[in-house]
Amino acid sequence: MRNCSIIISLASVVCLAGVAIGSNESSVSSPVIDAMKAELMRSFTALKKADIPAYFISYRLYDKETAEVVADSGSVTRLIPYHRQAYASVEVRVGDYQLDSSHRLINDDRDQAESTLGAFGIIPLDGGKPLQSVFWLETEKEYRVAAQRYGKVLAQRGLKTDEDECADFSKEKPYLSVTMEAEQPPLNLEPFKQSAARLSAIFNRYPDIEQSWTQFKLARTKRYLVNSEATAVNDDSMIINFNLGANSTAVDGEKIDRSESFYFTNPLNLSSVEGRLEQLVNQVASSVEALRKAPLAEPYCGPVMLRGPAAAVLFHEVLGHRLEASRHRDNTDGKTFAKMLGQKILPSFISVYDRPSLPRIGDVELNGHYAVDDDGVPARDVTLVQNGELKNFLTGRTPTPTCSASNGHGRCGDTASATPSSRMANLVVESSKTVPEEQLRQLLLAEVKKQGKPYGLIIEQVNGGETNTSSYQPQVFQVRPGVVKRVYADGRPDVLIRGVRIIGTPMAALQHIIMTADKVEVTNGYCGAESGWVAQANCCPSVLVDSLEIERETPDKGIARILSAPEKKGKP
């Protein structure tokens, strides 16, 4: 959801590193970009002549304005009317594109920063010398680290056989996209305060809920990127995140916890989404109350129907993370699909894409929409799997044996310490074997009967998931559903169950999809990995799986509250 209003692509122009810096091809200028360019030019000119020369420098700056309100039971409990802070991030590379200071080492622990000054993460916001000064200090620190690390890289050459020899950094064409910095209206938290309090009061209608909260987080981020290859980009994004959660204690003492999120980009749309938010609060509240009385799940292996949001998390954890190519450079990674290009990895009616260019599906905005990645490379839509066959990977500027260039998926969190690596944006799952949603349930029941099982499962909502891609541990994933129902073959009413966890191994799990629904549902969220938290969307239809394994979630057990809730006296 980044908005680039003026984009001047230099894709067809060959710029030599360093030559274009300082010149201004665009008629538009930004004081922040100008200061960053000036300092980069100064530092790069000196450091490329140093004893251990730098061959690449990039500067990133994230200027974040945030406001936040949390409410509980109709009252505001935490208020951050305004917070503004900017983070600078500097990357210095020593060596050359083929072998540089980022090359993986045998004992790959980053040296402590050479400077004792520490990181000066927060920086002046309106350009000029003070801003240059921050980048100057950070450049020194990163240069010292890179120079020392490069020494180690050279020392280890010949001591270790690289499994896959390829360059350390991809050459990319410079990209210029500089927008006029318009004065932005201040973040206005007032309507969100009222809404958070009002929405949190809905929980008061549910007497079995012990604790609950609603939260609005408004975040406006201006991003600035420049590098020694002449790339210069600035853009801005706005995201409003509504979170809510509620908990209770089941009759057997197990803790019940549910949470949900909703995202939108225009603060003025609050009133138009409030109905949806109210619905979400009621959904969570009623599911917590219902889960209190629900029976515990039993270990199960059999047919399962995953509704769109649940299936989306499954694809994200099982497939998406394993198609992020920068992991394939890591010898400790399991590299599940690294050498399977051209091979069938999914049923032939399934195709998977990553489409950062897609701003919305229907009226739902997608979190993972952007024009340029955090390496300054234009985002490209990528066909990952076509008709079940693996076609491509998500790449940033770290080449792999199968991908020598970036496809604009080098992403990182907007903090000082994050460095871009290949990440998902808008993961879209499409199917050519579909039935209407209602019919999918009928097919589930048919499959249950066919397998002679007493019941099947419908996973409606999920709380989250995790996957391990490291070779140190088994290649397994887990998804933690929030709302799961048993659907009986003999026609008994559905039964809500609690304490469910989906487990499996990636190669097997997705092969068992036998049918999908005809409608794609969007699950927006933030994904956390090595390069920080990035906004991301998963778009997926409901799927029917003929076999999925379910285990009991580790119980968080206590005992019920000793005293009843205090008697209400009403607000003063």
Partner 1 sequence: MMFRFNPAVIVLCAALALLTGLVDTSRAAVNQAEPASSVQEDLVLQAMTDELRRSMKELRLEKKTRPYFIKVTCTDIDSIKFQYELGKRVDYDEHSDRIADVEVHVGDHKFDNTANLTTRTGGTTSRYVALEDNYDQIRRNLWILIDDAYKSACEDLEKQEAYRRGHIIRNLCDSFSLSTPNTSIDPISPPLKLDKSWETRIQSLSSVFSKFPEIRKSWVVLEMDRQIFRCTTSEGTILRDEWSPLVIGVTAYARCDDGEDIWDCDFIRVTSSKHVPEQEQLEASARRLAENLVAYTKAERKNYYFGPVLFQPQAASELLQHGIAPKLCANPGDNLQPSGTLLRCINTRILPKFLSIADDPVSTEIRGHRTLGTAAFDDEGIACKKVQLVEKGFLKELLCSRTPVLPGQTSNGRFRSGQVLPTTLVMQVHQPTNTKTLEGKLIQLAKEQGLKEALIVTRIEKQTPRVLNGDGISGRSDSLQRYPPLEVYSVNVETGKRTRVRGLLFRDFGLPGMQGIVAAGNDAVPFNSVNWAGYIRSVVAPSLLVNHMELEEDAKNTLTPYPVLNPNFAAN
Q: Could you list the residues that contact partner 1 (CB under 8 A)?
A: 38-39, 42-43, 46-47, 49-50, 70, 72-86, 114-117, 120, 122-126, 128-134, 136-137, 139-140, 143-144, 210-211, 558-559, 561-563, 565-566, 568-572
The Cα 225–Cα 177 span in angstroms is: 10
97 vs 136, beta carbon nearer partner 1: 136
133 vs 468, beta carbon nearer partner 1: 133
User: Alpha-carbon dihedral of residues 88, 215, 315, 349, nearest 10 degrees?
Assistant: -120
The Cα 510–Cα 312 span in angstroms is: 12
Minimum separation from the CB atom of position 217 to partner 1 (A): 13
Minimum separation from the CB atom of position 122 to partner 1 (A): 5
Minimum separation from the CB atom of position 464 to partner 1 (A): 21
The Cα 338–Cα 333 span in angstroms is: 10
Minimum separation from the CB atom of position 85 to partner 1 (A): 5
User: Token pair of 300, please?
Assistant: 């199960």
The Cα 39–Cα 1 span in angstroms is: 29
Residues 6+ apart with CB under 8 A from 5: 179, 180
**Residue 529: which of 394, 361, 385, 341 has the closest Cα?**
394
The Cα 514–Cα 305 span in angstroms is: 10
Q: Which residues are registered as beta bridge partners of 386?
A: 389
151 vs 558, beta carbon nearer partner 1: 558
Q: Are the CB atoms for 231 and 376 separated by under 8 Å?
A: yes
Residues 6+ apart with CB under 8 A from 480: 462, 463, 464, 465, 500, 501, 502, 553
Minimum separation from the CB atom of position 432 to partner 1 (A): 50
The Cα 481–Cα 167 span in angstroms is: 41
Minimum separation from the CB atom of position 258 to partner 1 (A): 17
Residue 326 carries which side chain, given as an amino acid letter? S
User: Token pair of 206, please?
Assistant: 């549910």
Minimum separation from the CB atom of position 78 to partner 1 (A): 5
The Cα 381–Cα 534 span in angstroms is: 17
The Cα 61–Cα 123 span in angstroms is: 9
Tokens 């990674």 belong to residue: 333
Minimum separation from the CB atom of position 498 to partner 1 (A): 20
Q: Are the CB atoms for 430 and 381 separated by under 8 Å?
A: no
117 vs 180, beta carbon nearer partner 1: 117
Packed helices 190-201 and 270-293: angle between N→C axes, nearest 10 degrees: 30
214 vs 336, beta carbon nearer partner 1: 214
Minimum separation from the CB atom of position 68 to partner 1 (A): 8
Minimum separation from the CB atom of position 221 to partner 1 (A): 15
137 vs 372, beta carbon nearer partner 1: 137
Q: Which residues are registered as beta bridge partners of 426?
A: 537
Q: Cα 259 from chain centroid?
A: 18
Q: How many CB atoms are closer than 10 A to CB 260?
A: 19
The Cα 215–Cα 192 span in angstroms is: 9
- Backbone dihedral angles phi then psi of residue 41, each to the nearest 5 degrees: -60, -50
136 vs 488, beta carbon nearer partner 1: 136
196 vs 545, beta carbon nearer partner 1: 196
16 vs 562, beta carbon nearer partner 1: 562
75 vs 432, beta carbon nearer partner 1: 75
Q: Are the CB atoms for 181 and 234 separated by under 8 Å?
A: yes
**Residue 55: which of 14, 91, 24 has the closest Cα?**
91
Coil, strand or helix at 38:
helix
Minimum separation from the CB atom of position 79 to partner 1 (A): 4
Minimum separation from the CB atom of position 23 to partner 1 (A): 15
Sequence-ordered alpha helix ranges (H) in 237-307: 270-293
73 vs 392, beta carbon nearer partner 1: 73
78 vs 157, beta carbon nearer partner 1: 78
212 vs 367, beta carbon nearer partner 1: 212
Q: How many CB atoms are closer than 10 A to CB 420?
A: 28
49 vs 110, beta carbon nearer partner 1: 49
Minimum separation from the CB atom of position 280 to partner 1 (A): 21
Beta strands 426-431; 532-552: pairing state = parallel
Q: Are the CB atoms for 409 and 422 separated by under 8 Å?
A: yes
Minimum separation from the CB atom of position 113 to partner 1 (A): 11
